[in-house]
């Protein structure tokens, strides 16, 4: 499989990264280089092999479903670029 210019632009859109025509053209070569490198995995026989989901067999630790944290609105918005009274501000999303 190899990626073309249209695929690069589609993936950039999915990844929410604006790319110029020049960026996209450069990325075609770079991404194909990496894709070609990883293609060799196709030659491994994985019949009956389970995909890894955790490197160490472990049971997820659970806790009581209760509020253990909170009342930190000021802290949460402290690093945001634009806020108003503990709300994050974004460009209008509904007309």
Partner 1 sequence: MTELTSLTIAEAREKLASKEITSVELTKAYVDAIDAFNGTFNAYVTTTPEKAMEMAKASDERRVAGKVGALEGIPLGIKDLFATEGVHTQACSHILDGFKPKYESTVTQNLWDDGAVMLGKLNMDEFAMGSSNETSFYGPVINPWKAEGSNQQLVPGGSSGGSAAAVAAHLCAGATATDTGGSIRQPAAFTGTVGIKPTYGRCSRWGTVAFASSLDQAGPIARDVRDAAIMLKSMASVDKKDTTSVDLPIPDYEAALGQSVKGMKIGIPKEYRVDNMPEEIEALWSQGIAFLKDAGAEIVDISLPHTKYALPAYYIVAPAEASSNLARYDGVRFGLRVDGKDIVDMYEKTRAAGFGTEVKRRIMIGTYVLSAGYYDAYYLQAQKVRTLIKRDFETVFHAGVDAILTPATPSSAFGIADENLAADPVAMYLNDIFTVTVNMAGLPGIAVPAGLDKKGLPLGLQLIGKPFEEETLFRTAYVIEQAAGKFTPAKWW
Cβ at position 58, least distance to partner 1 in Å: 7
Question: Would you say 41 or 67 has its CB closer to partner 1?
Answer: 41
Cβ at position 44, least distance to partner 1 in Å: 5
3-state secondary structure the chain: CCCCHHHHHHHHHHCCCCCCHHHHHHHHHHHHHHHHHHHHHHHCCCCCCCCCCCCCCCCCCCCCCCCCCCCCHHHHHCCCCCEECCEECCCCCCC
In the complex, the residues that contact partner 1 under the rule CB under 8 A are: 1, 3, 7-8, 11-19, 27, 30-31, 33-35, 37-42, 44, 46, 49-56, 58, 60-61, 63, 72, 75-76, 78-82, 88, 90-93
């Amino acid at each position: 499989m190899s990626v073309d210019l249209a695929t690069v632009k589609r993936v950039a859109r999915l990844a929410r990264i604006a790319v110029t025509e020049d960026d996209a053209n450069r990325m075609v070569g770079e991404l194909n280089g990496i894709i070609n490198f990883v293609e060799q995995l196709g030659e491994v026989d994985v019949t009956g092999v389970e995909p890894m989901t955790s490197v160490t067999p472990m049971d997820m630790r659970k806790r009581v479903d209760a509020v253990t944290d909170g009342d930190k609105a000021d802290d949460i918005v402290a690093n945001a670029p634009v806020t108003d009274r503990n709300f994050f501000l974004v460009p209008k999303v509904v007309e």
